Amino acid sequence: MKYYSTNGKVEPVSFKEAIFKGLPDDNGLFMPQEIPSLPSSFFEEISELTLPEIGFEVIKQFIDGEIQDIELKSLIEDVLSFNIPLKKIKNGVYALELFHGPTLAFKDVGARFLARSLSYFTKQEDKKLTVLVATSGDTGSAVANGFYNVPNIDVIILYPSGKVSKFQEQQMTTIGGNITALEVDGTFDDCQKLVKDAFLDEELKSALNLTSANSINMARLLPQSVYYFYAWAQLSEEEKKNAVFSIPSGNYGNLSAGLIAQRMGLPIKHFLACSNTNDTVPMYLWNGNFEPKASVATISNAMDVGNPSNFVRMLELFNGSHSKMSESITGYAYTDESTRQTIQKVYALTGYILDPHGAVGYMGLIDYLKIANGTGIVLETAHPVKFNQTVEEEIGMKVALPSHVESTNLKKRSIPFEKDFKGFKRFLLALSQTY
């Protein structure tokens, strides 16, 4: 399997090269040259398979033997060592709970796979890597946990000051070790631009082996396809016929992964791209115009992205056709006020606690089911406790911390940073002198 750049100006590379590079040299994004179709027998047996077994069958299609099967199986069993249950909210509406991993967010799946894949290859070469990652919240904590004390890898996390929850900030700024957090005076888009500019800088590329842990990295994105298969496997035979996935969306890696799952043969009826007021992609789906804009802070902060990177992958999957994309995906966007009301209403009527991101996805699903039939699955991307202040105000009770997660009172350790590439470059070059 080779991976090409969406800009088409560089030669295709192997899986290993794609995840080491993170971004192609022509500033595109990597995509697999082909998306393999899984055999019908896989779907006939899928309800009997475990999550790691499904993960192995899906992911090995894109590795092409670069990680031997026996080692890949072990790696995936380690990555998917927690459950991803499908919970019924009400008739015809389910939540796929992606928050049972160590940092209580869906990004644990991709971050853990990327960390272990990079570790596998660096051990073979004794190669030092520097991972750069921009985060609007959950990516940072998932990457920090997934890469903590991984040999030969240093991680630098850039997050927007004052625009992530306290819980999220604690998870990525108190871990220490090989994890460094930069608190940027700006937005997520500013953080993401610093990372992208670093990958395009020739001096930095020659001084440091840089790679990314955002969903721009294929090893972050591909594993996220797995839980679409697992969710579908948990439905009844009748429900499987009309599965609709509603995805709370920020940088659109999760939705891109779902589209890949569909291209592999998973019979998904329709996708819903649900955003907060950062509605760049829903607006495109409505009117055909992609107009990036400055991000706006909301209570669903992991979705505060005004210029989503993975939109180019979505375009690639639909050959640049707005009409084809809008046939498969419906866009919705919602305000903070309606998000709060939904958290309150769903808890009052069903007892289910949505986080602010899941609430956005829930609203989109309910609006879609008013005009179309289907079995709806909302991707609950983060545990409500990560946004406890917002959630507790709406449900009138305390959200308990899951038993497998320890509360942290460790001292925050972050470096204040301006959104200035020259300063960021100086910091990285100084870091390279320690290697």
Domain ranges of the chain: 81-104+221-395
Tokens of 435: 């290697």
The tally of CA atoms less than 13 A away on the side-chain side of residue 325 is 26
> Which residue is associated with the tokens 């990525």?
172
Question: CA torsion, points 40, 380, 273, 111, in degrees to nearest 10?
Answer: -80
The catalytically annotated residue of 16, 21, 107, 386 is 107
Nearest in space to 356 (alpha carbons), one of 190, 167, 230, 157: 167
Domain 81-104+221-395 matching CATH 1.10.490.10: the answer reads no
* Residue 81 CA: distances (Å) to CA of 137, 321, 367: 23, 39, 34
- State residue 110's pLDDT score: 92
d(CA 117, CA 110): 10
pLDDT digits 0-9 by tens, 321-336: 999 999 999 999 999 9
Taking all residues of the chain, what is their mean pLDDT, rounded to a whole number?
A: 92
Q: Please state the separation of Cα 183 from the chain's center in Å.
A: 21
- State residue 409's pLDDT score: 61
Categorize the per-residue pLDDT at 406 as very low, low, confident or very high, splitting at 50, 70 and 90.
low
- State residue 408's pLDDT score: 57
- State residue 434's pLDDT score: 67
pTM, 2 dp: 0.88
Active site residue 293: no
Judged against a pLDDT cut of 80, whether residue 98 lies above it is answered with yes
CA angle 105, 108, 111 (to 5 degrees): 135
Judged against a pLDDT cut of 70, whether residue 76 lies above it is answered with yes
| DSSP element (H, E) containing 172 | helix 166-173
- Cβ neighbours for 224, distance < 8 A, ≥ 6 positions apart: 106, 109, 110, 215, 253, 254, 257, 258
pLDDT digits 0-9 by tens, 229-272: 999 999 999 999 999 999 999 899 999 999 999 999 999 999 99
